[in-house]
Chain A
Amino acid sequence: GQQLNQSPQSMFIQEGEDVSMNCTSSSIFNTWLWYKQDPGEGPVLLIALYKAGELTSNGRLTAQFGITRKDSFLNISASIPSDVGIYFCAGTDSNYQLIWGAGTKLIIKP
């Protein structure tokens, strides 16, 4: 079946560092979504991308819809402690099925 590869699985970074994570798919996607989940809560939408090549920012977060339509990345600049959590990518394939990545766990070293 359809799969999304999200990497890295986890990241240990220092406060103030920039963060980058990405997702790749085996086939073309129509949309890419990035969510963040805090412990014990449901995922919250960060950024939605609808067109190949689209680059969208939300504060310190920037995400891009890859030109090939098979990948997307999320960057976080100047990380702060509240950025800790699990980041999920999700995308819709040609059958309008929403496929989820396994998540990237972000941990900030004190």
Chain B
Amino acid sequence: KAGVTQTPRYLIKTRGQQVTLSCSPISGHRSVSWYQQTPGQGLQFLFEYFSETQRNKGNFPGRFSGRQFSNSRSEMNVSTLELGDSALYLCASSAGGRQQETQYFGPGTRLLVL
């Protein structure tokens, strides 16, 4: 089975721009969670999608949004980028009954905002 894939792997943007990141979960997985990881920091939960619906949300501003498609692929969007948005954005998928199920991570998208 192919693992979780994320595209692009690296991205450079400037302040004020917006960005869309993509995540393809493991085949058969219905839950996709997104995390932000800044250097030396732990994982900050952004949101979780299950069956095209946002099921959980972390404490991030409205500039961060996401969606999930019928094939379980997910995208997250960050509008009006700020320097502090520079981070590794990780996507994780699970079979989906509950978020407690083991999550499998993709390699991440490293975003640099200049």
Chain A contact residues, CB within 8 Å of chain B: 30-31, 33, 35, 40-45, 48, 88, 92, 96-98, 100-103
Contacts and interface: CB of A to CB of B under 8 A. Distances in A.
Contacts of A40: 88, 107-108, 110
Nearest to A45: B102
A27 to B, nearest CB: 14
A83 B88 CA distance: 22
A41 B108 contact: yes
A103 B44 CA distance: 12
Interface of B: 4, 33, 41-43, 45, 56, 88, 90-92, 98-100, 102-108, 110
B42 A96 contact: no
**A42, A43, A97, A101 — most chain B CB neighbours (10 Å):** A42
A5 B43 CA distance: 13
A60 B39 CA distance: 28
Would you call the interface of chain B mostly helix, strand, loop, or mixed?
loop
Contacts of B107: 40-42
Contact of B99 (A43, A88, A97, A101): A97
Given A98-B103, A100-B43, A42 B98 contact: no
A31 B99 CA distance: 11
Contacts of A35: 105
Nearest to A44: B105
Given A40-B108, A102-B42, 11 more contacts: A33-B102, A40-B110, A42-B90, A43-B43, A43-B105, A44-B105, A96-B98, A96-B99, A98-B45, A98-B100, A98-B103
B100 A96 contact: yes
Contacts of A43: 43, 90, 105
A48 B98 CA distance: 15
